[in-house]
Structure 1
Amino acid sequence: MELSNQLKTLADKIIMLKDKIETEESTKHAFVLPFINILGYDTFNPTEVVPEFTADIGIKKGEKVDYAIFDKNDPILIIECKNWKEKLSVHNSQLFRYFHVTKTRFALLTNGIQYQFFTDLDEKNKMDSKPFLEFDITNVKENVINEISKFHKSNFDVDHIVNNASSLKYIQEIRKQINNEITNPSNEFVKLFANKVYAGRLTEKVMDEFKELVQKGFNQFISEKINDRLNAAINKEAEKQLTEQIELIVDESKVTTTEEELEAYRIVVAILRRKLPINRIVHRDTQSYFGILLDDNNRKPLCRLHLNGGKNYIGLFHENKTETKQAIQSIDDIYLFEKELLDTVGVYEKN
């Protein structure tokens, strides 16, 4: 989860700054170095991250790759960077030459937004022409985050990554082919389905008709699958809400709200009125605590008051929504937690 959040933060930064970044050097510093840091490597430690790493090629001396990440004095990943505005496809030949003369099994080509990871699956010590892992950092899927995590310093295992790279590479290519066939079906793809449902001769006219039918059929199938999953998720959420409402009704039938709890609620309202209108601050009493919610939403607790036991507490909520109990001598002590209460409102309003 931490890696996912770090990548999301970097992605937001890239979206916000990219139009202000003009050069390759700026791209490195603003986009690529933070990504290396996210992988757990210290960009200020020259034994871990070496900028302008020398990769002499035959009679060509002084050839340098932008960064090399080291482990135990050996390079484990070389990185070639380009300006974020440049397409990567025209630059992999340069990285191909560097890969051949280093001991690394992995190479990364990036413009700070698009990332392409290569290895040597096809021929030992010779970089493959196609990446085994490719993603856009501003739109990273959960399964890709899992693959990125394997390059983290704490997880890095050459054999594990290489063994998995083959299936990744082919799955990636298969997905591309599926996308191509759905958006622009080939004759072979159309014939595959037309032969199963059409008994006549597949003339050019018939093929043109079936090309459109196959495309529509696949789009409808995908749409129905998506709708089925959405409906299942909606029904599950509705069922959960109904269960919560029933439990709440049962709880409320056993609850007696005290005047002290109502007075404490009025203190919380007095604190929060500088940020919220009164009608958004709602109390909900339960058997175990007196809760105060934002917008009457039990997923947005502002605080909880525990006033019916031997000791009194106020339960405060932070960004991760876990409750932290603080002892209070009297309800007047609620004023001591003014900042925490206002910060909680700020978290919900920001989200």
Structure 2
Amino acid sequence: MEFQNKIKAIADKIALLKEKIETEESTKHAFVLPFIHALGYDSFNPTEVVPEFTADLGLKKGEKVDYAIFQDNIPILIIECKNWRETLDNHNSQLFRYFHVTKTRFSLLTNGIQYRFYTDLEQTNKMDVKPFLEFDITKVKDSDIHEILKFHKSNFDVNKIVDNASSLKYTKEIKKCISEELISPSFEFSRLFANKVYSGRLTEKVMNEFTELVHKAFNQIIGEKVNDRLNSALNKESEKQQEDIVEEKPAESKIITTEEELDGFRIIVAILRRKLPVERINHRDTQSYFGILLDDNNRKPLCRLYLNTSNKYLSVFDENKKETKITIDSIDEIYKYESQLLSTVDYYIEDKN
């Protein structure tokens, strides 16, 4: 994630500064050197990063490549830089010459935005014409990040990168061919499918029809695949939301308020309303008891009823809020303890005064 953030910071810098960058040197300092730093190399250390690295070829002396990155005194990557405004298509021949006279297995051609990595897959010590890794740093994908990280100082392994380069290079070329065929199917591509489904003679007219049919069929398949993926993603999201709803649904309460408890509450209200307004007398049921409170405040219990047990109780409180349980046979016996209930109200009135 840290490396990805560094690459994003370079992309943001390019968007901010590129119109102010006029020269190749400015491109190097503003865009390319930060990329080298992101790879973990110190451009101020001449044993790691050598600017203007000499790459003499035969009798031609003074040939220099913009940067060479070293590891254990051996160049592992040579870098040729161009102005960010230039395309790279016309410059790989220069890098091709440099590659031949160095011991490196990798070269990089860049204008600070486009990056093209090369190696020698087809012929040893001879740079391939086509890059095995290519990306736009302002549009870099996660898959690109994964490959770029292999050039990081802490990860660099020549053999692993070369082994992977072949797969990268030819996968990229195959994807390019498939993309071209999807846009405009070639005669050979269309004939491949026509031979599988058509038993007649493949005349020019038939092939023209099949070229259109192949183009149409592939676009439909892609559209269907995209829709399937979208629907699958939407269904998973919907399922997840349903799971979240189920998870968030509160557990079913184990507290059941009985009609007997409510009848008992009505009796207590009838007694206490002599000294209290009805709205100040509230009940709150729990698993253990049915509580009657003053002003719906747990700290102001008026009494409690224990009616869901084998023995029934009325519980009253003294001035210190000490609870005393009184056995009752039925809620009608609550009337016998009218004075105790009213005394509890007096305690709260006295406290207030």
Q: Calculate the TM-score normalised by the size of structure 1.
A: 0.69
What does residue 160 of structure 1 align with?
160
What does residue 314 of structure 2 align with?
none
Deviation at 1:118, TM superposition (A): 0.7
Deviation at 1:102, TM superposition (A): 0.7
Separation in structure 2 between the aligned mates of residue 217 and residue 164 of structure 1, nearest angstrom: 34
Residue 88 (1) aligns with residue 88 (2): yes
The amino acid that maps onto 1:79 is I
Separation in structure 2 between the aligned mates of residue 201 and residue 225 of structure 1, nearest angstrom: 32
Separation in structure 2 between the aligned mates of residue 33 and residue 251 of structure 1, nearest angstrom: 59
Deviation at 1:251, TM superposition (A): 6.3
What does residue 14 of structure 1 align with?
14
> Considering only CA atoms, is the larger Rg found in Structure 1 or Structure 2?
2
Task: Give the % identical residues.
Answer: 73
What does residue 63 of structure 2 align with?
63
Separation in structure 2 between the aligned mates of residue 16 and residue 252 of structure 1, nearest angstrom: 57
Separation in structure 2 between the aligned mates of residue 227 and residue 140 of structure 1, nearest angstrom: 25
Separation in structure 2 between the aligned mates of residue 183 and residue 89 of structure 1, nearest angstrom: 23
Deviation at 1:234, TM superposition (A): 1.6
SS at structure 1 position matched to 2:43 = coil
Deviation at 1:135, TM superposition (A): 1.3
Cα RMSD (Å): 1.7
What does residue 227 of structure 1 align with?
227
Separation in structure 1 between the aligned mates of residue 227 and residue 137 of structure 2, nearest angstrom: 27
SS at structure 1 position matched to 2:89 = helix
The amino acid that maps onto 1:147 is E
Separation in structure 2 between the aligned mates of residue 11 and residue 251 of structure 1, nearest angstrom: 50
Aligned residues: 254
Separation in structure 1 between the aligned mates of residue 252 and residue 180 of structure 2, nearest angstrom: 57
Separation in structure 2 between the aligned mates of residue 27 and residue 220 of structure 1, nearest angstrom: 44
Gaps of 5+ in 1: 255-351
What does residue 38 of structure 1 align with?
38
Structure 1 window deviating more from structure 2 (18-27 vs 177-186): it is: 18-27
Gaps of 5+ in 2: 255-353
Change (3 A) 1:194 1:15: farther
Runs of 4+ in 1 over 6 A off after TM superposition: 251-254
Structure 2 counterparts to residues 108-123 of structure 1, below 5 A:
108-123=108-123
Separation in structure 1 between the aligned mates of residue 191 and residue 108 of structure 2, nearest angstrom: 39
Separation in structure 2 between the aligned mates of residue 95 and residue 234 of structure 1, nearest angstrom: 49
Q: Calculate the TM-score normalised by the size of structure 2.
A: 0.69
Residue 127 (1) aligns with residue 92 (2): no
Deviation at 1:190, TM superposition (A): 0.7
Structure 2 counterparts to residues 1-351 of structure 1, below 5 A:
1-250=1-250
Separation in structure 1 between the aligned mates of residue 239 and residue 13 of structure 2, nearest angstrom: 38
Separation in structure 1 between the aligned mates of residue 214 and residue 242 of structure 2, nearest angstrom: 42
Deviation at 1:19, TM superposition (A): 2.6
- What are the superposed Cα offsets for residues 81-132 of structure 1, whole Å, 9 maximum, x if unpaired? 1112222121101000001111111000111111111111111111111111
- What are the superposed Cα offsets for residues 314-342 of structure 1, whole Å, 9 maximum, x if unpaired? xxxxxxxxxxxxxxxxxxxxxxxxxxxxx
Separation in structure 2 between the aligned mates of residue 58 and residue 229 of structure 1, nearest angstrom: 57
Deviation at 1:209, TM superposition (A): 2.0
Change (3 A) 1:218 1:19: farther
Separation in structure 2 between the aligned mates of residue 252 and residue 108 of structure 1, nearest angstrom: 65
Change (3 A) 1:204 1:102: same
